[in-house]
Structure 1
Amino acid sequence: MSPRERSKTYEIAEVEAKLQAELPHWYFEDGWIRRHYRTAGWKSTLMVINTVGHLAEAAWHHPDITASYAWVEVRLMSHDVKGITDRDFALARKIEEVVHWQPGLEGQSLTGTPDGDQRFAYIKYDKPKA
């Protein structure tokens, strides 16, 4: 894929359709695709921020992040073209995959964080869509 193809910006209707089809917990607002993550507290919030930071740096594509005690908002836009590109969707998918990974649901040897004990609470996982 050429740099020109990678930098193709999507129209608002295209962005909203892609989000609905591929990233249903993300939304488009004020020129950004956005995701709000709820956490169990400050420690979890910092872990989400660091995860997003690592993925963004590895991808060389940098989001804006706002955070408070028990939430993180991630905003993506390709700054160089001032619009939403395939780079934004690709990074959003990777962030979703990593932040919402629940190894305990995979039935493998990793169990994930214990349920029901607030000392180990982490992300407030999205409920599966029916």
Structure 2
Amino acid sequence: MKKLSEKEIEQQLAGLDGWEFNDDGIETSFEFEHFKDAFSVMTRIAFEAELQQHHPDWTNVYNKLFIRLSTHDAGGVTQNDFDLAKIIEGIVESE
């Protein structure tokens, strides 16, 4: 998978509300009403990430979820990251 240029990353970020490019990765955070809501979303994301064989770096504290995507083998952001980010957005929006 080819590492995307900063220009390509910025173009794709325009279509993802709340995501930012930082230190060779794209990042976002979500806040839910309760811990169980955050955990439920994390579980759904985990199943999708496993299907994609592309796994997020993330942290969860109570009702907050921070997600960072980067393709380690490519040394930065690839199309895989944006594909997973779009899947994540769909999961969060459906909650």
The gaps in structure 1 that reach 5 residues or longer are 1-6, 103-130
Give the aligned partner of residue 57 of structure 2. 64
Paired residue type of 2:13 = L
Which of 3, 12, 18 is equivalent to 1:25?
Answer: 18
Native 8 Å contact 1:36 1:71 kept in 2: yes
Q: Which has the higher contact order (CA 8 A, sep 6+)?
A: 2
Give the aligned partner of residue 40 of structure 1. 33
Quick check: which has more Rg, 1 or 2?
Answer: 1
Give the aligned partner of residue 5 of structure 2. 11
Paired residue type of 2:23 = D
SS at match of 2:83: helix
Give the aligned partner of residue 78 of structure 1. 71
Paired residue type of 2:16 = L
SS at match of 1:28: strand
User: How big is the shift at 1:24?
Assistant: 2.2
| Count of residue pairs the alignment pairs up | 95
Structure 1 stretches of 4+ with a deviation exceeding 2 A read: none
SS at match of 2:68: strand
Q: Percent identity over the alignment?
A: 34
Aligned-partner Cα distance in 2 for 1:48–1:98:
7
Structure having the larger proportion of residues in strand: 2
RMSD across aligned positions (CA): 1.2
Aligned-partner Cα distance in 2 for 1:92–1:11:
17
The gaps in structure 2 that reach 5 residues or longer are none
User: How big is the shift at 1:75?
Assistant: 0.8
Aligned-partner Cα distance in 2 for 1:59–1:69:
27
1:60-103 per-position Cα deviation (integer Å, ceiling 9, x unaligned)? 1011011111110111011111111111111110111122126x
Paired residue type of 1:18 = Q
